[in-house]
Chain A
Amino acid sequence: MLTKRIVPCLDIKNGRTVKGVNFVDLRDAGDPVILAKQYAELGADELVFLDIAATLENRKTMQDMVLKVAEQVNIPFTVGGGISSVADVDALLHCGADKVSINSSAVKRPELINELSDKFGSQCVVVAIDAKQVEGEWFVHLAGGTIPTEIKLFDWAKEVEQRGAGEILFTSMNHDGTKAGFANEALAKLSDLVNIPIIASGGAGTMQHFVDTFIDGKADAALAASVFHFGEIPIIELKEELKKQGIPVRL
């Protein structure tokens, strides 16, 4: 049986992890390779690396990091941030990334999704969507959720699927950082609307939030950062709890 996935997300700046991490004694908590290896050991199903300061200059730095992660980590990982062309993706996949995540660049030029899925296959194209609910309606936001657009979440989700996205990473700006649970209503609607996997993001605070997003939100995977990085929720304990509540997980 296919299991639900637990996905820690690491923010990267100039090849180093940004947010502090203190869930284990690490020689170098800022080294994404050491951290990624640790997460793989501790039961993470997949990893996401998000280049939060993506610029032309540090593209090479990111590629070097991807190469080192691929060399040492034996679980799949996605790379996102600043990816806007077929050439960008080609370079990252050649360094050993399994999937890439595109966000603003897909909104600005939706054909990019077609180009990537035609060339590399939809299995490696994750479209990240940041959205905010305003007066009952969900709107897509850009640049880490700071720039609103007129695009409606559900229209956009349908479009990215049709254009060849293999997966959607949905972050609710209303829930992100609140630790009050995921946007399960919108997630469930997304899951019913499209037939590709959905990764839930934004709002993880407790183990029950993960249970809820897999059951009520019908999510295929759940992504979180701080609850994992600060050891608030150990991944093994989380998976044991999920299993206890009847959710299939890899243990």
Chain B
Amino acid sequence: MNLKIVNYGAGNIKSIQFAFQRLGYDAVLTNNSEEIIASDKVIFPGVGEASSAMKMLKDSGLDTLIPQLKQPVLGICLGMQLMCNHTEEGNTKGLGIFDVDVKRFSNAVKVPQMGWNTVKNLKSDLFKNISEGDYMYLVHSYYAENCEESIATSDYKIEYASALENDNFFGVQFHPEKSSKAGAQLLQNFLDL
């Protein structure tokens, strides 16, 4: 399995590498277009602020490459948000892979949402052997609205999309690499796609 993690300077990438290592796979960091195109599976991580992450992506030319990829791509956290049309964070235009906008949680709840929340309305093979109501670890202030491409939703005052799918592209708002056994199962499912 040729597994690559897109390295554009955003995020806690070490934890993702370790999570795959625990599953017996070697995930290699790269920002090299040829290497990414040639891989079997691609992880698109992201932690931090949206507009600066998008700038780093553009600086490395990866903003045009990622939407053209044909193999399974998994966006994690901010990675998923950047794959959407637009995010309110820094009024940032996204990659437009998922036809949905990203908004900020209202101050009726504590922001960021931090901790373990349940996933439900599970639809995709990405959630094989994961049950309705299983817990995933999330840390985020912005959310993708519930939409046709949702393959999981969670509730935080409102119901939002905690995972998205469009063709070969997948996105999860939670951190599977930090979500105990359910998270490890999801990463395994991605590898099995």
Q: Is chain B's binding surface mostly helix, strand, loop or mixed?
A: mixed
Chain B proximity of A22: nearest CB distance (Å): 25
Are B117 and A1 touching (Cβ within 8 A)? Answer: yes
Which stretch from B56-64, B65-73, B143-151, B171-179 is at the chain A interface? B171-179
Q: Tell me whether B115 and A74 are in contact (CB under 8 A).
A: no
A75 within 8 A of B: yes
Separation in Å of the B139 CB from the closest CB of chain A? 4
From B14, B21, B137, B139, contact of A94 by CB (8 A): B14
The CA of A92 and the CA of B177, in the complex, are separated in Å by 17
Residues of chain A within 8 A of B22, CB atoms compared:
72, 74
Is B118 at the interface (CB under 8 A from chain A)? yes
The winner among A40, A74, A94 for most chain B CB atoms within 10 A is A74
- The interface residues of chain B lying within 8 Å CB-to-CB of A118 are 49
A154 interfacial by beta-carbon distance below 8 Å: no
Q: Which single member of A76, A195, A221 contacts B111 (CB below 8 Å)?
A: A195
What CA separation (Å) do A36 and B179 show in the bound complex?
A: 15
Known: A71-B18, A95-B14. A196 touches B111 (CB 8 A): yes
Residues of A within 8 A of B19 (CB): 74
Give B8-44 as 1s and 0s: 1 = Cβ < 8 Å from A's Cβ atoms: 0000101100110110000000000000000000000
B122 within 8 A of A: no
Given contacts A74-B184, A75-B180, A96-B15, contact A121 B135 (CB under 8 A): no
Chain A residues, Cβ within 8 Å of B110: 195-197, 220
Mask: chain B, 84-112; 1 = CB below 8 Å from A; 0 = not: 00000000000000000000000100111
Residue B123 at the A interface, CB < 8 A?
no
Name the CB-closest residue of A to B117.
A2
Report the minimum CB–CB distance from A248 to chain B (whole Å).
9
- Does A123 make an interface contact (CB < 8 A)? yes
Q: How far is the CB of A161 from chain B (nearest CB, A)?
A: 10
**B156 interface residue, CB < 8 Å from A?**
yes
**CB under 8 Å from chain B, chain A span 167-182:** 167
Count chain B CB atoms within 10 A of each CB in A94, A121, A197, A250 and give the residue with the most. A121
Q: Does A166 contact B (CB under 8 A)?
A: yes
Tell me, yes or no, whether A245 is within 8 Å of chain B by CB. no
CA distance A221 to B116 in the complex (A): 11
Contact between A76 and B178 (Cβ–Cβ < 8 Å)?
yes
B47: interface (CB < 8 Å): yes
Neighbour of B135 across the interface among A3, A96, A123, A166, CB < 8 A: A3
Considering only CB atoms, which chain B residue lies closest to A120 in the complex? B48
A contact residues vs B (CB 8 Å cutoff): 1-5, 40, 45-46, 67, 70-72, 74-76, 93-98, 118, 120-124, 166-167, 195-197, 220-221, 250
6 residue pairs, one from A and one from B, having the closest CB atoms: A96-B14, A121-B48, A123-B139, A250-B116, A250-B135, A76-B178
